[in-house]
Amino acid sequence: QKEVEQNSGPLSVPEGAIASLNCTYSDRGSQSFFWYRQYSGKSPELIMSIYSNGDKEDGRFTAQLNKASQYVSLLIRDSQPSDSATYLCAPPSSTNAGKSTFGDGTTLTVKP
């Protein structure tokens, strides 16, 4: 079982809608999470980090962490075609017993 599981995609939303991306994780000790965005043919880049229970907002992006449920999510409001990418969820430790802890990613397509 992977340490981080992401909701299977692909996810398609119309422009202007809210896109919801989710992760569940197995390590109850995880205190923070990171969301990376990867455009097709490009490398992943960090877009959000959340270090405590609750919500963190940054522009159109809101990250939510629920430690009790071991659940983290990323909401994208007013989705734009430029948000079309694969979103990767990652816990604070990038490796665990020699394995990458990145989730496999959810591919989002925002249709004009």
Partner 1 sequence: NAGVTQTPKFQVLKTGQSMTLQCAQDMNHNSMYWYRQDPGMGLRLIYYSASEGTTDKGEVPNGYNVSRLNKREFSLRLESAAPSQTSVYFCASSARDDSGNTIYFGEGSWLTVV
37: Cα within 13 Å, side-chain hemisphere: 15
Residue with Cβ nearer partner 1 (33 or 64): 33
Give the Cα-Cα-Cα angle 37, 42, 44 (nearest 5 degrees): 35
Q: How far is the CB of 105 from partner 1 (least distance, A)?
A: 6
As a whole number of angstroms, the distance between CA 41 and CA 22 comes to 23
Which 11-70 residues touch partner 1, going by CB under 8 A? 31-32, 34, 36, 42-46, 49, 51
88 makes contact with partner 1 (CB under 8 A): yes
As a whole number of angstroms, the distance between CA 24 and CA 70 comes to 6
Q: How far is the CB of 78 from partner 1 (least distance, A)?
A: 26
Residues that bind partner 1 (CB under 8 A): 31-32, 34, 36, 42-46, 49, 51, 88, 90, 92-95, 98-100, 102-105
